[in-house]
Amino acid sequence: MPSSGSMRAQIGTLIVATSAIQLANGFFGTFLSLRVAFENFSATMAGLVLSSYFAGFTLGALRCGRIIERIGHIRAYAAFAGLVAAATAVMPLLVGPLPWVGLRAIIGFGCAGIFVTTESWLNAKALPSERGRVFSIYMVGTFLALAAGQLLIAVVDVGAAAPFNAIVALFAAALVVVSSARAEPPRVSAAAKLSYGLLVRAAPVAVTGCVLSGLVTGAFYALVPAWMQGEGIERETIALFMLMTVLGGLVFQIPVGRLSDHFDRRMVLALLGLGFASSAIALVKLPHALLAIIPAAILLGGFMSALYPVCVTDAHDRLPGDRVVAVSGQLLVSGLGSVLGPLIGATLMARFDIDGVFYFMASAALLLAIIAGVESVRSASPPHQDTTFEILAPQAGPLAHDSLGSSDENGE
């Protein structure tokens, strides 16, 4: 059995490597939004390119567990990172909407595989007494890396191949770090099954909230940077705006989590939906001056990033503890919303400019607020389970916090 020092080294290696990947991922999402606008793709094709990542990500999150079971964590990590690096390297060689739809779907699949591999590995290797702290460090590192990735936008040439090369280099570096680490592969255990119909009946607000949260998040990250570039806003300002949005998400996680652990989570969801809708409308109405939009960006990012974790935790409250993995897997229906968000948003932006996108996102959040508020009044909230609110990255659900590689309580 590996020593605690060896396990901590493995955990540190994984966190460092995945932070490098999240740095690349945070930059890549915003950069591609700008690059698609630079290439003047049609609204439909731009939406397809930007949404294909989420389609691949959702498929990967649902399917890559079998790959990990078959070839092991280290080889799986290397395979997924290599797949992302290869697809990214091809993008500047095949510039066009159709090739990019396929390549971004491959990248989404590979990124999901990386995150599932990492989170299941961490879950298996961290001692039970340290698991919460390990995942807190992991998620804070994720948010900070995503935020730092936005800063790279200010210094790149959007029309060049260099940004793609930088992304490939970061993924390759993470691959080298993990592949060269001394690590015993964790044991993979089977998860309990859960029918989707049962989940919908048990937690309708959570399921609806996950879909609507995906709509909002997908539309925002895919379209807002492109619109800002189209308006002639300096890239330094775009980078700062996106940075504040991600950091707002990080700042909101702990206070919202505490609220949701002490009150009816559906009422917390209703308040988050109202807060997001108000922030989105404020961004439309406020003067486009930096001092006005930065506070609104922080609030928008905070409300937006807290929606999904509250939905997930509410679903966990309503089903037995041994179904937590299955709940997390089924709630990846948020991927459907993430796929549709950029498609619907791009169509609206072509017709109504960015105001249409913000009103669309506000309407989705307001719908969630109404549904959650009505349900909280109609039925009593179940007692909160031992599993409390978890910090989740803005672009991904709870892929494997208690999933693949879940070990026994001896900390295998």
Q: Tens digits of per-residue pLDDT, 331-376?
A: 555 567 888 888 899 899 888 888 899 999 999 999 999 999 998 8
Q: Mean pLDDT, to the nearest integer, of 135-164?
A: 87
Residue 210 and residue 90 share a domain: no
- Give the angle 363-310-383 at the CA atoms, nearest 5°: 125
Of the residues 149, 179, 209, which one is the last residue of a structural domain?
179
The pLDDT assigned to 324 comes to: 47
The pLDDT assigned to 204 comes to: 84
The pLDDT assigned to 129 comes to: 62
Using pLDDT thresholds of 50, 70 and 90, give the confidence band for residue 276.
very high
Residue 185, in any domain of the structure: no
Residue 200 and residue 72 share a domain: no
Residue 302, in any domain of the structure: yes
Q: Mean pLDDT, to the nearest integer, of 198-204?
A: 74
Q: How many domains does the chain have?
A: 2
The pLDDT assigned to 398 comes to: 39
Residue 357 and residue 309 share a domain: yes
Contacting residues for 336 by C-beta, under 8 A, at least 6 apart: 58, 211, 214
Residue 170 and residue 221 share a domain: no
CA distance 240 to 58: 29
Residue 289, in any domain of the structure: yes
Q: Mean pLDDT, to the nearest integer, of 7-24?
A: 82
Q: Mean pLDDT, to the nearest integer, of 110-134?
A: 75
- Of 253 and 36, more confident: 36
The pLDDT assigned to 183 comes to: 56
Two tokens, residue 17: 């490597």
Using pLDDT thresholds of 50, 70 and 90, give the confidence band for residue 3.
low
Residue 399, in any domain of the structure: no
Residue given tokens 């590979």 in the structure block: 110
Residue 333 and residue 236 share a domain: yes
The pLDDT assigned to 62 comes to: 79
Contacting residues for 309 by C-beta, under 8 A, at least 6 apart: 253, 256, 257, 389, 390, 391, 392, 398
CA distance 68 to 119: 12
Q: Which domain holds residue 14?
A: 4-179
Residue given tokens 């964790």 in the structure block: 186
CA distance 154 to 95: 23
Residue 281 and residue 233 share a domain: yes
Q: What percent of the chain has pLDDT over 70?
A: 78
The pLDDT assigned to 130 comes to: 66
> Considering only CA atoms, which of 266, 299, 349 is closest in space to residue 43?
349
Q: Mean pLDDT, to the nearest integer, of 271-287?
A: 92
Residue 385, in any domain of the structure: no
3-state secondary structure the chain: CCCHHHHHHHHHHHHHHHHHHHHHHHHHHHHHHHHHHHCCCCHHHHHHHHHHHHHHHHHHHHHHHHHHHHHCHHHHHHHHHHHHHHHHHHCCCCCCHHHHHHHHHHHHHHHHHHHHHHHHHHHHHCCHHHHHHHHHHHHHHHHHHHHHHHHHHHHCCCCCCHHHHHHHHHHHHHHHHHHCCCCCCCCCCCCCCCCHHHHHHHCHHHHHHHHHHHHHHHHHHHHHHHHHHHCCCCHHHHHHHHHHHHHHHHHHHHHHHHHHHHCCHHHHHHHHHHHHHHHHHHHHHCCCCHHHHHHHHHHHHHHHHHHHHHHHHHHHHCCCHHHHHHHHHHHHHHHHHHHHHHHHHHHHHHHHHHHHHHHHHHHHHHHHHHHHHHHHHHCCCCCCCCCCCCCCCCCCCCCCCCCCCCCCCCCC
Residue 71 in this model has a pLDDT that exceeds 60? yes
Residue 308 and residue 244 share a domain: yes
Residue 280, in any domain of the structure: yes
> Considering only CA atoms, which of 65, 74, 73 is closest in space to residue 191?
65
Residue 144 and residue 201 share a domain: no
Residue 228 and residue 332 share a domain: yes
CA distance 29 to 31: 6
Q: What is the CATH number of the domain that holds 142?
A: 1.20.1250.20
List pLDDT tens digits, range 26-69.
899 999 999 998 998 888 899 999 999 988 988 887 788 788 88
Residue 301 and residue 152 share a domain: no
Residue 228 and residue 154 share a domain: no
List pLDDT tens digits, range 151-164.
999 888 889 999 99
Residue 126, in any domain of the structure: yes
CA distance 92 to 240: 26
Residue 145 and residue 88 share a domain: yes
Residue 91, in any domain of the structure: yes
Q: Mean pLDDT, to the nearest integer, of 221-233?
A: 85
